[in-house]
């Protein structure tokens, strides 16, 4: 009986990981469409239970960050009926860093100055880069 539960749990975990991967890749597409640069999709699930993926991107200014944030909110709500669990964006005084937390996928939108300062890629350097769009 335990074996069945374990295998069902593994199937659910794989399904969840696949769904997370598809969500992360859709987010990368949206961010790219809105012309963010240096987009990186990191698989962090082996390092933390915080999330499965980080999407990190550079925006040219806060106006662009707002446009990307708005597009993510609208598109993901319409396409997948999901909303972020937490949102701390430029509109909330993010100072060049917006974060949208979709549970398994967390999006970080940085101005170049803030991205260099916080260096999330350096902090998570042991994680797998799944996608990189320059």
Tally of CB atoms within 10 A around 117: 11
State mean pLDDT over 103-119: 95
pLDDT at 35 over 90: yes
pLDDT of residue 18: 55
In whole angstroms, what is the distance from residue 107 CA to residue 126 CA? 18
* More confident: 59 or 5: 59
Q: H/E element holding 88?
A: strand 86-88
Spelled out in words, what is the top-level CATH class assigned to the domain 2-133? Answer: alpha beta
DSSP string, 68-97: HHHHHHHHHHHHH----SEEE-GGGT-SSE
pLDDT at 26 over 50: yes
Range with the poorest average pLDDT among 26-30, 70-74, 117-121: 117-121
Task: Check if the beta carbon of residue 131 is closer than 8 Å to that of residue 25.
Answer: yes
DSSP β-bridge partners for residue 60: none
pLDDT of residue 29: 96
């Amino acid at each position: 009986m335990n074996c069945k539960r374990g295998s069902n749990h593994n199937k659910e975990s794989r399904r969840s990981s696949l769904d997370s991967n598809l969500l992360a890749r859709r987010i990368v597409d949206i961010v790219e469409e809105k012309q963010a640069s240096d987009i990186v999709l990191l698989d962090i699930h082996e390092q933390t239970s915080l999330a499965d993926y980080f999407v990190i991107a550079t925006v040219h200014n806060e106006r662009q960050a707002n446009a990307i944030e708005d597009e993510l909110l609208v598109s993901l709500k319409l396409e997948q009926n999901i909303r972020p669990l937490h949102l701390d964006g430029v509109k909330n005084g993010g100072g060049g860093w917006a974060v949208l937390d979709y549970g398994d996928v967390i999006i970080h939108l940085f101005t170049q100055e803030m991205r260099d300062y916080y260096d999330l890629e350096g902090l998570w350097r042991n994680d797998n880069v799944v996608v990189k769009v320059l």
